[in-house]
Structure 1
């Protein structure tokens, strides 16, 4: 039941067009359904104004299938994040039209490509090794109805590559900067634009990168203002925040 259907249902109920038994039947799925290993939230999409999302990491194939089967029956779009090809093959049996974005590790059920916001989210990477995390952000932001552009491999090791694209940077409404190693790119971008910058540290790098911790601390200590930082490799979280900023600005 989406927002329009819920409104219509409540109006019909007030007018007496729906009896008590039917109302109980319709409302029994609010706000969630308990299936033992999960409490499936049917109305998160209504509250958050974005498709439902299922994190596949740490769940068994049967658990993933059980959750997505219920959500897919009631939601327009469902995203399954951190999904392997094995998970995709399982889900494809339920939803043959499900699409798998392998680099982003995202499955989209009932995909609806519709741009709801013309303001651009620009996703930038320092290096090619950061693209996996960047694509998680791109696919998520697009699924949420945003216009997304990419600018990859423009890190500080060759700063002229970034400066060559200065117009693109300044035209974006929100910028997501994905970088490993020492994570310096977020500070550089933050110093060049007057828009919100969301920094995503990645676990890419040599030696004392410490699995992304060095980049994370560097981004948190940025001398450029207007930068927010999400957790290591969290492309999904960056896209979700960018979507909220894009929708409210």
Structure 2
């Protein structure tokens, strides 16, 4: 039975049931509500993952839980992971690559990468490799495909949102397009990027909503972990 608050019912078993742990979206929750949910997750699962953390909550996470959990703070995307000393993350063997078109897309991409890591995947990143200087893409992409042998790619882009379609037309692994609210004027705030990705003619590109780094990480992590499970099964059968 889940612990119930007047304002929330934490889903402690989501990671086991779904393969994706619950991420506490701190935005628009009060600090006290969020701290109560964090405490519940630490008590039941040994870990609490938070996204969109404001400055006051950041301070409280470091001070209120200092004696019971280590706090990993990701300043770029304002996310945090708290872990009790007895918590161990099981690595799955899944491999995910994360690319961004520009530096302005990194914060949302880091949110996606965080969730993939917390799902047990190894994450490989290459940032600022967009179509304005397409020559920057080929080296990192080749390394991800041929050396790291990633199982899925996340490609984050704002502005015209062209990079995910370019990548999807070049690779034989699933690509998750992550539109970012970078841009201005007509189609700004990620709309042009979203529409461009949805209208792609490159097969193998799926798309999440604007700035939905957690959603992109969940999709790519699930794909990578299924592929990793198949690899393990093949090895155990001598394949």
Match of 1:235 in 2: 213
1:177 corresponding residue in structure 2: 155
What's the CA shift for 1:46?
Answer: 2.6
Contact 1:51 1:75 in 2 (8 A): no
| Residue aligning to 1:110 | 83
1:138 counterpart = 2:116:
no
Structure 1: runs of 5 or more not aligned? 1-29
Q: Which one of 175, 188, 204 corresponds to residue 226 of structure 1?
A: 204
Local SS of the residue matching 1:123: strand
**DSSP 3-state at the match of 1:58:** coil
Match of 1:89 in 2: 59
Alpha-carbon displacement from aligned partner over 1:55-81 (angstroms, at most 9, x marks no partner): 101100111011111111111321011
1:246 paired residue number: 224
Question: What does 1:6-155 align with in structure 2 at a 5 Å threshold?
Answer: 30=1, 32-96=2-66, 97-110=70-83, 114=89, 116-155=91-130
Match of residue 137 from structure 2:
162
**Match status 1:204 vs 2:195:** no
3-state SS, counterpart of residue 215 of structure 2: helix
**Would the alpha carbon gap of residues 166 and 242 (structure 1) be closer, same or farther in structure 2, given more than 3 Å must change?**
closer
Q: Give the length in aligned residue pairs.
A: 219
Q: Match of 1:195?
A: 173
Q: CA RMSD, aligned part only?
A: 1.6
**Aligned mates of 1:136, 1:55 — CA distance in 2:** 12
**SS at 1:109 equivalent:** strand
Shift of 1:84: 1.9
The CA distance in 1 between the partners of 2:124 and 2:71, in whole Å, is 23
Deviates more, 1:131-140 or 1:180-189: 131-140
Match for residue 15 of structure 1?
A: none
Counterpart Cα distance in 2 of 1:189 and 1:169: 12
2:20/2:119 contact within 8 Å kept: yes
Residue 36 of structure 1 aligns to a residue in which SS? coil
TM-score (norm 2): 0.86
1:244 Cα deviation after fit? 0.7
Q: 1:64 & 1:166 partners in 2: Cα distance?
A: 38
Aligned-partner Cα distance in 2 for 1:119–1:40: 27
Distance 1:162 1:232 in 2: 22
* Structure 2 residue runs without a partner (length 5+): 228-239
Question: Residues 69, 209 of structure 1: CA spacing in aligned structure 2 closer, same or farther, 3 A cutoff?
Answer: same
Following the alignment from structure 1 to structure 2, what is the Cα–Cα distance between the partners of residues 219 and 189? 11
Shift of 1:120: 1.9
**1:49 CA displacement:** 3.2
Instruction: Report SS of the residue matched to 1:203.
Output: coil
* Alpha carbons 1:85, 1:102 under 8 Å: kept: no
